[in-house]
Amino acid sequence: MTKSALLALYLSLFSIAIWVIFDLYQNYTKVEIPQEIEKVATPISDSIDVEMLQLLKERSKL
């Protein structure tokens, strides 16, 4: 086995290693929540505008 063949093998191994790392980074590092789940899980506002109820209360007294 010559030096150049060995170098080719070594580069192949290096390339495969780089590709595996890139593939993992590309597909499994970013957490993306599907839209339909996001729709259900998105928190709602905890405040309810009761101004209208107060106005109705005042009006009902008239």
Tell me which residues touch other proteins (CB under 8 A): 1-3, 5-6, 9-10, 12-13, 16-17, 20, 23-24, 27-29, 31, 33-34, 36-37, 39-48, 50, 52-54, 56-57, 59-60, 62
Asked whether 33 and 41 are in contact (CB, 8 A), the reply is yes
Residue whose entry in the numeric block shows the structure tokens 């506002």 = 45
| Smallest distance from other proteins to CB 6, Å | 5
Distance CA 10, CA 13 (A): 5
| Shortest distance, position 27 Cβ to other proteins, whole Å | 7
